[in-house]
Amino acid sequence: MKWTGRFEGYHSSAFSKDLVSGLIVGVIAIPLGMAFAIASGVKPEYGIYTTIVAGILISLFGGSKFQIGGPTGAFIPILFAIVMQYGYENLLIAGFLAGIILVVMGVLNFGKLIKFIPRPVTIGFTAGIAVIIFSGQIASFLGLKDIEKHENFLPNMREIITHLSTLNIYSLLTAGVGLIVMIAAPKLLPKVPSSLVGLIISSVVAALFFNGSVATIGSTYGAIPSALPHFHFPEITWAQIETLIRPAIIIALLGGIESLLSAVVADGMTGSRHNSNRELIGQGIANMVTPLFGGIPVTGAIARTATNIKSGAMSPMSGVIHGIVVFFVLILLAPYASRIPLASMAPILMLVAWNMSERKKFIQILRTRTADSIVLLITFSLTVFTNLTTAVEVGLVLAIILFVKQMSEMLTVTKVLPDPTINHEKVKAYMVTAEHDCPQISILSIDGSLFFGTASMFEKSVMDAIRLHSKIVLLRMGKMPFMDTTGESHLTALLKHSEKSGGIILISGIQSQPLELLRKTGLIDRIGNDHRFEHTGDAIDYALTQLNTNKCLGCKHFAFRECTALSNADPSDVPTQIEVQMN
């Protein structure tokens, strides 16, 4: 793996800037790491372990100079569901498997392909995740007691409603102070992380005025250890792999999407360019190693990456420093972190949910009232009311089906004839009428892609032309950019049918991709070079030489300029252009 460009020309002044940005992002990452871990159903220290190990590895091996990796809100619903259903140990295995998948994706150059996931799907599940995160903090915000956590949204809402009578006014006041401070801090202290200010002030208020009356990290989860856990490789069985492979794939896909989106944001802010495949490999390495130290799955964190850049980061060293800062805070200040009220952390996650909700883009897509609106609503609803795995799978399948349907409606097969009043007698659809249509030659213009979604309609249109009367069918393929093997198969069937009935199929203006496909299948040889033309005019000239001239005698259609001579008609019988269009 080449390092050229990542630390090229690195100097002491760049290090000082990285040191400052690393310190700032490290301080921000501590409360977020604990909050995301708690919301994911695991102990808060696991979020800190994740921030340390993954933060350093992603910066060292990733594809973006400025990426800050760690636990994120996007993972909360799926991680919580895995913990609830399979337990913490299996969460570590799922994360490890996801890391392997990400590395494989990077090696196979999937970095660019993953960007093609439809925007309505990503916005739908992101908004759904935001709802789950926000609603999941209501109980801590209100200080409700005896809340039983469930995997799904509706049972959790029932729990909150059922236990509203256990509301703790001191927790509500603590959370309220934190929320107000976090909203006001950006205006009063723009250079200081608002989440950190809100956390500190609300924690101090709770310690001074509500001591012992508000649940803390220590009272709920136990004291946070002042050291990293021992290296431990989990025992993985084939049965566990079969059970956890689906959630592992979702973790990998979601991690890949989030990390590449974050890298794109970083590129836009700095004018740099990330290596998408190396980013996937770096994320994969981090997700493989982090579980060995008890950490949860990670990805690129957009907000922390943006903060890193705004703080003056110059290289991946800032990300490494951010991980080291979190490590020293763990060693030195773990006992103090244990005293943080859960009510102080709830508004942090609520604001994270609000900021990640994509609400403006969500409303914008809804207002279009298109197929994208349907995909968005279904993905969002399934994320909230079922699970992220189902939402992504159904959203992707639905998006593909609707896309194929839309593409199939875009293919048109139009019958055309030359217009003698235009230079070079270009073919036009308005020239074809009941009284002005060659009985032996059908010229069909194909506009759109010929693939499995449009092949049947294409075949029907051509077959109708053959069945009516046409001995010669000319297919104009200049506006057909793509053909798949299904389209090729239908074209082969048409050729066979035409040959059996003694007809001829000509093609003109075929583009490079369809031509290459026909060469690979051998169909282009079967059509023959003498039946393939670059220009429609040449194809028409050839078609006229293949006419049954006996059928032309007395014909009154006059579709081509040669028809007058072929029909032996009186020139006064030939309709004018104006008459043709009126007919």
Domain boundary at 399, 423, 446, which?
399
Residue 153 and residue 385 in contact, taking contact as beta carbons nearer than 8 Å: yes
pLDDT score, position 448: 92
pLDDT of residue 232: 87
**Are both 362 and 494 inside the same structural domain?**
no
Do the domain assignments include residue 330?
yes
- Looking at 349, 366, 399, the residue that finishes a domain is 399
Is 549 inside any structural domain? yes
Query: 């890193």: which residue's tokens?
Result: 308
Q: Are 193 and 24 in contact (CB under 8 A)?
A: yes
**Do 555 and 497 lie in a common domain?**
yes
Last residue of a domain, one of 399, 434, 461: 399
pLDDT tier at 7 (50, 70, 90 boundaries)? low
Asked whether residue 395 falls in the same domain as residue 417, the answer is no
Structure tokens of 207? 């310690």
Give tens-digit pLDDT for 213-238. 999 999 998 888 888 888 888 888 99
pLDDT score for 467:
67
| pLDDT-derived band at 11, boundaries 50, 70, 90 | confident
Q: With respect to residue 287, please indicate whether it lies within any of the assigned structural domains.
A: yes
Both 388 and 444 in a single domain?
no
Whether 498 and 383 map to the same domain: the answer is: no
Residues 183 and 87 in one domain: yes
HEC assignment per residue over 179-219: HHHHHHHHHHCCCCCHHHHHHHHHHHHHHHHCCCCCCEHHH
Please report the pLDDT score of residue 80 as a whole number.
92
Q: Which of 336-340, 396-400, 470-474 has the lowest mean pLDDT?
A: 470-474
Q: What are the distances in angstroms from CA 465 to CA 203, 504, 558?
A: 80, 12, 18
The mean pLDDT of 292-319, rounded to a whole number, is 90
User: Does 425 lie in the same domain as 392?
Assistant: no
- CB atoms under 10 Å from CB of 407, counted, come to 15
Of the listed ranges 78-87, 102-111, 248-257, 568-577, the one predicted with least confidence: 568-577
Rounded alpha-carbon distances, angstroms, from residue 310 to 59, 192, 374: 17, 12, 37
Q: What is the pLDDT of residue 3?
A: 43
The predicted structure's pLDDT at residue 213? 93
Q: Is the pLDDT of residue 580 over 50?
A: no
| Burial class of 279 by CB neighbour count within 10 A (0 to 12, 13 to 18, 19+) | buried
Residue 422 CA: distances (Å) to CA of 279, 306, 312, 417, 419: 56, 58, 63, 12, 6
Mean pLDDT, to the nearest integer, of 370-387?
Answer: 92
Which residue, chain included where needed, has tokens 């393929």? 477
Reduce the secondary structure of 226-254 to three states and give it as a string: CCCCCCCCCCCCHHHHHHHHHHHHHHHHH
Q: Are residues 365 and 466 in the same domain?
A: no
**Of 18-22, 270-274, 338-342, 381-385, the least confident:** 270-274
Please tell me the distance from the alpha carbon of residue 456 to that of residue 450, in angstroms, as a whole number.
Answer: 9
* Mean pLDDT estimate for the chain: 88
User: Which of 14-18, 108-112, 177-181 holds the top average pLDDT?
Assistant: 177-181
493-509 residue pLDDT tens: 988 888 888 889 999 99
Is 574's pLDDT higher than 50? no
Mean pLDDT of all residues in 322-351? 92
Q: How far is CA 497 from CA 257, 463, 469, 489, 524, in A?
A: 48, 9, 14, 12, 16
- Is residue 422 a part of any domain in this protein? yes
CA distance 272 to 257: 19
Domain span including residue 440: 411-582
Instruction: Establish if 10 belongs to a structural domain.
Output: no
Tell whether 24 is covered by a domain.
no
14 assigned to some structural domain: no
CATH number at residue 499: 3.30.750.24
The band of 356, judged by pLDDT with boundaries at 50, 70 and 90, is: confident
pLDDT at 569 over 80: no
Tell me how far apart the alpha carbons of residues 219 and 290 are, in angstroms, rounded to a whole number. Answer: 27
The DSSP call for residue 474 is: E
* pLDDT above 50 for 582: no
Same domain, residue pair 308 and 417: no
Residues 422, 361 share a domain: no
Sorting pLDDT into bands at 50, 70 and 90, what band is 578? very low
Question: Taking 60 as the threshold, does the pLDDT of residue 1 lie above it?
Answer: no
Q: List phi, psi (to 5°) of 129.
A: -60, -40
Torsion of CA 554, 556, 560, 564, to 10 degrees: 50
Whether residue 166 is predicted with pLDDT greater than 50 in this model: the reply is yes
* Domain shared by 338 and 375, yes or no: yes
Buried b (16+ CB within 10 A) or exposed e, 500-520: eeebbbbbbbbeeebeebbee
318 found inside a domain: yes
| Rounded alpha-carbon distances, angstroms, from residue 485 to 412, 449, 488, 542 | 19, 12, 5, 28
Would you state the structure tokens that stand for residue 333, as one six-digit string? 């200040």
Mean pLDDT (whole number) for 91-101: 96
pLDDT of 125 = 87
pLDDT score, position 8 = 66
Evaluate the CA torsion angle 65, 70, 76, 79 in order and state its sign: positive
SS3 472: strand
* Domain tally, the chain: 2
Average pLDDT score over residue span 310-335: 91
Mark whether 363 and 418 lie in a shared domain: no
Q: Of 10-14, 52-56, 279-283, 369-373, which range is least confident? A: 10-14
